[in-house]
Structure 1
Amino acid sequence: MSTGAIEHVTFRNADMYWDIAADLHFPPGFDASGSYPAVVAAHPIGSCKEQTAGNIYAPALAEAGYVVIAFDASFQGASGGEPRFLEDPAQRVQDFSRVVDHLVTLPYIDADRIGVLGVCGGGGYALAAAKTEKRFKAVVSVTGANFGNLQRQMAGQSGGPIEALNAIAQQRTAEARGAASAVNGFLPETAEAAQQTGDIDIIEAFDYYRTDRGRAENGHVRFEVAHGTAALGWDAFHLVEELLDQPLLIVIGDRDKQGAFGAHRDGHEVHGRAASIDKQLLEVEGASHYDLYDRPHGAGEALKSVVPFFDKRL
């Protein structure tokens, strides 16, 4: 199999009524009769497998000798599930185990050498999944965000979490009575509106998701409203002091200290709280949240530590 080879797959577990879509990235000279370490790669919130986790980190890790599976979250991207654009943390966490269930059926995967990497919200979900999914032997969070805390913080800018929960309740009642599903966009409509927020994360999110830099067909950054209570009541870091014990690498950028998504703060918090004995915090000097998605001085610097980290622990 040639360098850069990708296989598009779909699969369904016993607990699912829909398919998960994923891309398998293979290392150079891949031999299906061999045995390879694997990495599960999780995309950001509102993103898809064709962005950052799947088109930056997965190819680099495949080049380093890993079979990497980048997957679309349930209800998003090319994966199935209704309603569309649902962001349910419990389902997102379960998706990681569903992906591992598929990996361990592949004869060329060494089931004792599986790691996980997530970017942004995918990083927060990877940390949450690793608390209970012990088939993950090493964990990397790249500019990982605790989505529950992010939602509560953002709700605080417009009335607070209780007001947001009441609005969701009204929308859910309306839909139960026959109203159309409501979907909210997460980003401003124009680059100018993004600039007016003055927030580095919002400004750079628009540049990544709404320009040719990172735009992808399924990278909608849209969220279904009526089931948003799940995220507002969730915390990615609950019980990390007791349950998150695998070798851990947290990557953040030092330019993201004031960003709305909170990855800098969350990175320091989970690094301090996790039960892991083997844990590292890499703060990339001069890098922002979105530099760690795809920029040479960002993702490129992160990979200089991510690859050796997995090499040593897988």
Structure 2
Amino acid sequence: MKTKVIVDTDTGVDDAMGCALALRSPELDVVAFTSVFGNVSVELTTENTAYLMEVFGREDIPLAKGAGRGLVGNPNYSPFVHGDDGVGNAGFDKPKTIKPTRESAAELTIALARAHPGEITYIALGPLTNLALALAIDPELPKYLPRVVWMGGAVYVPGNVTPVAEADAWHDPEGAQMVLQQAGWQVDMVGLDVTDDTILEEKDLKRLQAGGAEARYIAAMMPFYMNFYSKKLGRYACAAHSALTVAVVAEPAIIAASEQLPIQVELRGTFTRGMTVADRRTNASNGQEREWTQTPLTNVLTDVDRPRFREMFLQRLGV
């Protein structure tokens, strides 16, 4: 039976990869897309997601516009990573047929979760603001929405926007804290611990460029993103953060290792705001018990089968 998913996205080059993979994964039934600020403004992420849905012929799926800023502070965008348009300055047209619903992302999430109690997995590819707002509206939401899979955070590796903070946690630390501290649902963190070195290479780009219309659509936005990553990686390649996050929902065997940890999100630190802080102490390692005994455990992915993911992604895009 297919897994029903809501995909919340701040599209975003790697987010587009993730949305595309969700639509081409036979294990998943995408019941809604929701947009959120992050890589670019929520107006652009909504347009980008609508255009992607048109490319893939999925006008039947509702798209709800979400939050344009985090719960605290003003948004900061990443045009140097994803382009001014959020999709690698690829020059795509504006969407022609798909318009966002009257319901907000938070309202649509609540309505769908209540209509399909216990059946939906929420895949968050950006800041957790929309889900935090839904939780504020409906505190009973975890009774109906059992699982959240979040592309965000970092435990064992450095951050990517500050020395310690990953981008989607940093964009809205208060929203992330609300979601991670809420008992009642399972949260899987697909963070930089596994995504930062899950790489698509130049040869993979060439396969996409030689593919059909959908593959070429993804390929058109990748060069800008690869140029950014080439400075970090020392070769023409890029990380596939969001695509990996969708992949582990569609094909759980890609997960090679994970660890259940209590996590708090730093909200006030001068140098550490947005850091996802895990209490990794155990009796076995150093004789100290964890102090955060009332903190819900988050399932932190620590290793994945990268070759399996890469081939899955390419094959499902038809190349």
**Common fold: TM-score over 0.5:** no
TM-score normalised over the length of structure 2: 0.36
TM-score normalised over the length of structure 1: 0.37
